[in-house]
Structure 1
Amino acid sequence: MLAENLSRNTKPPKSLMRPIGRAIADFDMIHDGERIMLGLSGGKDSLSLLHILHHLQSYAPVKFELAAMTVDPMIEGFHPEKLKPYLAELGIPYFFESHPIEKLAKEHMGKDSFCSFCSRLKRGIMYTT
């Protein structure tokens, strides 16, 4: 988990911000007044996106709300507890849910892959939050 290595002032590099800003505009991705809930695992991909969106909140011509959510699958080795104080320091609303996804997968997965089952379950949990 990378959250412990980042500071509140982590600013995404311009080499990322320019093409991302252009893509958001070209594909009309974020509209004024929208609320965005980011699925946050604590890995480099989701933390990078968190910082990009957080930075865009201050500089983008559209105004939007940003929140983050972690769904703890209750799998050994996943330790998201450092995210809560980190998001509080950033001032980003944070939601946390624990669900026994591994146990549910063993009971209900069928022919799906574990990753597919887990991602569908996590999305469903996020949609109800």
Structure 2
Amino acid sequence: MDGVVFDGFSHTALMLAGQWNKMLVENCVFRNEMHGSSYFGGGALLSNGNVDMDTTVWVNNTFFCNNSYLWSIRGYCPVAVFSHNTVVYGTVNPFLTRQAQIMNMDNNLFYAVHSYGGIPEQVIQS
């Protein structure tokens, strides 16, 4: 994908469910991805927990005013790149990365990410 604008998805802009995909996302804008009742809904990419990827490369994208999980790698992924991206205003957890074997994250700009901070009762009870 190159130069695509994703605006106003209430859950996730891109949902990955197929095995061994190659994904290249460049110069895209993800904005206003907000779920009405869940602060974990409303992100750019969410992969299922058992989805293995071949390659995912995200370069020079803009993320503005999204809830969480801008970039999700939960299955096996031998090559994962998140580089030269700009992230402004996020509610919680910008990443959900569990098993990326060779992951490169560099030259990114983050401003006011994880601004939610949590509810005091959740912190006390945990």
Q: Which has the higher contact order (CA 8 A, sep 6+)?
A: 1
Higher helix proportion: 1
Under a length normalisation based on structure 1, what TM-score does the superposition of the two structures give?
Answer: 0.27
- Say which one has the larger Rg: 1
